Structure 1
Amino acid sequence: NLTEQWLHRRPGRDLPAIYVEHNTPKGDVPNTRHPMADHTNLLIAHVTGFNQLFWDTGTTRTTVIDHGIVTPTATYTGELDRLAVVINEPVRRGRVTGTDLLPRFADIAPLDVYGMGVTGLADHLGLPADRLTSHDDVPQHQMHAELARRRAYLHLCRWTSLGLSLIEAMSIGMPVVALATTEAVTAVPPDAGVLATRVETLTESARRLIEDRDAAYRLGARAREVSRERFGLDRFLADWDRLMKEETCASR
């Protein structure tokens, strides 16, 4: 690798090594072996406790450092009686991203779906254009401004690491309606949104938020507070500084 070519030193042997794992396992869950399993010369840093729990890393040391984001500049208004979703490649990824669940929410309110590869999603789902509008690969700052105008944020992923778009929506001040799966369970407290595994519970919650803008504001205000405290960049950088210092000292 480049470290060996440029420095003539091998990570894990001559230098401390940290392997950052962003993703949930994709194999025979919960028995998926991590590619760095049983390596005594490195540390795996997971971005969620859920990932750490579900990957089989054998004897390799692990730790968790939660995501950190640059706080969006957009401010929630919730002025539009619409629901916002951010998904990349929803057609290809299908059930993983909860794409099949979108029509049930489109019955409640029009959906605005942002992300890469979202063009043609309404046709794929058999929905009329006025119930689902695709916004393909919108620049991030523009997307944040548009998200902030929608009443609530939908997070329907069945199996994923904690999406940065969910954290960003919360930091904007959006109330969350989400499947109670993976790390979302710990990222979204009960007073910041609604989490459930019964889709009927989520659709009814979405309906209430569309009808009650004040309730949406209350949940969103708490979501913003929680997200900025837990996933702020200052905390993230401090955690990484601490971990790299510990690993460097331990290797001496």
Structure 2
Amino acid sequence: MRILIWHVHGSWTTAFVQGPHTYAVPVTPGRGPDGLGRARTFDWPASVIELPPERLRDADIDLVVLQRPHEHALVEQWLGRRPPMVYLEHNAPGGDVPGTRHPVADLPGDVPLVHVTHFNRLMWDAGSARTAVIEHGIADPGPLWTGELPHAAVVVNEPIRRGRTTGTDLLPVFAGAAPLDVFGMRTDGLAGHLGLPPARCRTRELVQRDLHREMARRRLYLHPVRWTSLGLSLLEAMHLGMPVVALATTEVAEAVPPGAGAVSNRIDVLTDAVRDFVADPLYARSAGAAARAAALARYGLTRFLDDWERLLKEVTR
């Protein structure tokens, strides 16, 4: 099968393209948002091919995975027809939650809506659209945790712009419990923005394989996000064998079982957990092993690809 999918979410797509199909990703001059082409910081197989919009009409696309509302119009514009489509929603709703209506509810035709968490399906208003949940799958980076640095790793993109959504305002509180190493896109200036000494909040942007190695050197993973879908960085940290400390929001309480870390909406409980993991490497190792076992059982790549294969066959039948 030849599947058209835009490069929107690098981590999620890295898992999706491990399947048995050919994946066409649009590429445009300048590699803008509608034509990023192949990822440069993730490892994608040769089955992911770049195609400019003018070549898509002759590309024999069998199915389209939509991820943003305007892509539906691009399909007709670039392909000149409507192949079978599914709409993948990565995010929890914003705005008037839980009354936010999903764009797929107003699309013509029967376009199934696929959520990545049960929380997201519960909170979005999809009207009469068919909905399904295919939980995340992770290409296992391996049990890389060493915890040699008594720091907390945080992964967040655009923390200054996204502010309270990603819990950026909470970082000074956690920095009082342990040094924070913040990884992600557009993290420059974060320490100054928060009024923290640079030594208490270091920021870096890395390719995925290097990111995983650097995360695994930290004693624990901190997930201070208030409102988002289930962060893939959290699941990746669990695969690495890291103990996790996270707010009990959205799907986190489902993903992190007892013994794999600390999940709470009490900041004092979370900061105490950070201190405990930093002070006790053996405790951190034990919780990290539990986190990895839970992540492999629920968010393994094979289950993820099998779930998608069943859905794709149903849609193209």
TM-score using structure 2 length = 0.74
Contact 1:3 1:10 in 2 (8 A): yes
CA–CA distance in structure 2, aligned partners of residues 129 and 182 of structure 1: 31
Question: In structure 2, what is the Cα distance between the partners aligned to 1:2 and 1:210?
Answer: 50
Matching residue of 2:157: 88
Tell me the residue number matched to 1:224: 292
Q: Separation in 1 of the partners of 2:226 and 2:180?
A: 19
Structure 2 counterpart of 1:165: 233
Structure 1 counterpart SS, 2:289: helix
Distance 2:155 2:77 in 1: 40
Aligned counterparts, 1:180-219, within 5 A:
180-219=248-287
The yes-or-no answer on 1:111 pairing with 2:155 is: no
- Give ranges in structure 2 of 5+ residues lacking alignment: 1-72
1:37 maps to a residue whose letter is A
Where does residue 131 of structure 1 map in the other structure? Answer: 200
The CA deviation at 1:7 is: 6.4
String of CA shifts for 1:190-220, please: whole Å, max 9, x gaps: 1111100111110011111111111111110
C-alpha displacement of 1:51: 0.7
Structure 1 residue 3 displacement after superposition = 5.2
Aligned counterpart, 1:10: 82
2:95 partner SS: coil
Superposition CA RMSD, Å: 1.6
User: Aligned partners of 1:130 and 1:165: how far apart in 2?
Assistant: 23
Kindly indicate whether residue 250 of structure 2 is the aligned counterpart of residue 179 of structure 1. Answer: no
Deviates more, 1:189-198 or 1:67-76: 67-76
**Long gaps (5+) in structure 1:** none
Cα distance in 1 for partners of 2:264, 2:105 equals 33
Percent of matched pairs sharing the same residue: 58
Structure 2 contact 158–184 (Cα < 8 Å) conserved: yes
Note closer, same or farther for the CA distance 1:77–1:5 as it changes in structure 2 (3 Å cut). same
Which SS does the other structure have where 1:217 is aligned? helix
Off by >6 Å, runs of 4+ in structure 1? none
Counterpart secondary structure, 1:177:
strand
TM-score calculated relative to the size of structure 1:
0.92
Instruction: Tell me if structure 2 keeps the 8 A contact 1:74–1:145.
Output: no
- Quote the residue 1:27 is aligned against: 95
How many residues are matched? 244
Query: Alpha-carbon deviation of 1:248?
Result: 3.1
1:37 counterpart SS class: helix
Amino acid at match of 1:186: E
